[in-house]
Structures are given as structure tokens and as C-alpha cells.
Amino acid sequence: MSSDRRCVIAIDAGTTGVRSRAVFVDAPSLSAYREFAQHYPQPGWVEHDPVEIWERVRETMLEVIAAATSDGTEIAAIGITNQRETAVAWDRRTGRPHGNAIVWQDRRTATRCRELTADGALPLVRERTGLVLDPYFTGTKFEWMLANRDIPVDEHLALGTVDSWIIWNLTGGEVHATDPSNASRTMLFDLRDLTWSAELCGLLHVPIDALPTVMPSSGRFGITSDRCGVPAGIPISGVAGDQQAALFG
């Protein structure tokens, strides 16, 4: 390989583990994979430790970056794909999560979804989001967290899906953002104008200011920070939920 070669680092933060891959134009890719623990505190409940997810991201990134750059290859950009509906809450000041993430498979809010349906909320949800009222989606997970955990609802609260959590950590807390493919799975995102719905956030008691900025999937999501434990200054230039990202291979 020549010293002017460049590659892209792709992060795939899935449901059972994280894979980072260095992708070259004209050479085989390099990859590293680490699993993380699944937590089942009650029947029908599924949780992940956000700190462990971030540790696996960092570990796999460092492994593939070391292998990819051993001959002087430069990292051109980072792309992220992720399990989509999983809910994470954290403190902007400390970067510490408010308990475990509630995973997309989790069914703890099934009763709440039935109540909302009985109260006539389904037509509103369907019109605004294109979704049905189901615990699969992130909105009622956020609501449950805020109602059942000791989480201060103030300007320091950050809510997001796994992509937002990874971006936050990669940028050293400088960027709290997501993309439409993830936002559209929260049951809080208005597909008509591509913004967070104040009406739906009010329905689910989710503070709209705690949600991430929604940016284009191919937008610039900041650069890696020297505080995150991976090489600094690498642009984060693409984010998409795993099912949408699968369209590209």
C-alpha cells in the first residue's frame, strides 16, 4: 500500500455486539468485533449497558485503525450504523448514562401503548409518524425511563438512540445529533416536516429539548475529540439505522 492511501471506518453497533471495519477502495477490508452483555431484568424486558457499548466501539475502532494505518494509510471519515429503536438517557455534564438502555425488543410499555390506543391516540401517531402504537418504538421507552428512574428533567438531560450516544462520545460531548432514519423510529418525529413533534412529545411527556438535532444521513456530525480515546480530528460523515444502511450492502 502507498502512503497516500485512505480508508473509511464503518461502525456497526448492533443488538449483540459492535463491529468496526476499515473499508478501502482497492483492497480487502479489515474488521474487529466485540460482543456485549444482554440484560433481562424481568420477563419481556431487554437492556444494554451504554458504557459497555461505547467501550466496544472504542476497542474495535482502535484495533482496525491500528491495522489500517500501520503503513501510513489515513482515515478519511467515520460512518455509523446501529440498532435503531433502543433508548438511551444520559447527563450532558458528566456523559454518564441514566441506567441501562432499553432495547428495541423490550415490551415493558405494552400496557401504556394499549392505553394510548384506547384513548384515541393511534390516528395522531399514524398521521405524524407513519408508525403504529407499539413498545417497539423509542417514544414510550423514553417516557418509561423518565417516570420510573431518578432522572432530573432539566437542561442537562440528553435522550437519544444508540447512534446519538456514539456520536456524543466520539465528539467528546460536543455533538448531540441523529439522522432521519433513526429519528423516524422514535414515534416522536413528524414525517411531514422532518422535525420533532411537540404534540407527540407532549403526549408522551418527553422534553423536546432533550432530543438530538436531526441532521441529514450524509451530513457532517462533527469530528472525533482527543478526549474520546481514538485518534482526534476524524470527520463523522454518515449515520443510518441498520435496516436502512442494509440497502447499501
What local confidence, expressed as pLDDT, does residue 4 receive? 77
CATH topology for the 6-248 domain: Nucleotidyltransferase; domain 5 (3.30.420)
Whether residue 8 is predicted with pLDDT greater than 80 in this model: the reply is yes
* Cβ neighbours of 152 (radius 10 Å): 10
Going by C-alpha positions, the residue among 95, 100, 240 that lies closest to residue 170 is 95
Of 18, 27, 42, the closest CA to residue 144 belongs to 42
Segment 90-106, tens digit of pLDDT: 999 999 999 999 999 99
139-194 confidence digits (pLDDT tens): 999 999 999 999 999 999 999 999 999 999 999 999 999 999 999 999 999 999 99
pLDDT score of 115: 98
Residue 3 reports pLDDT greater than 80:
no
Residue pLDDT, tens place only, 219-232: 899 999 998 889 99
Report whether pLDDT(2) > 70. Answer: no
pLDDT given for residue 1 in this prediction: 43
Tracing cell 441514566 back to the chain, one arrives at: 98
pLDDT, one tens digit per residue, over 107-150 is 999 999 999 999 999 999 999 999 999 999 999 999 999 999 99
Task: State the average pLDDT for the chain.
Answer: 94
Q: Per-residue confidence at 242, pLDDT binned at 50, 70, 90?
A: low
Which residue's entry shows cell 435503531? 84
Name the grid cell of 234: 476524524
List CB contacts of 24: < 8 A, sequence separation 6 or more.
5, 7, 68, 73
What DSSP element (H or E) covers 216?
Answer: none
pLDDT of the residue at 244: 75
pLDDT confidence of residue 245: 65
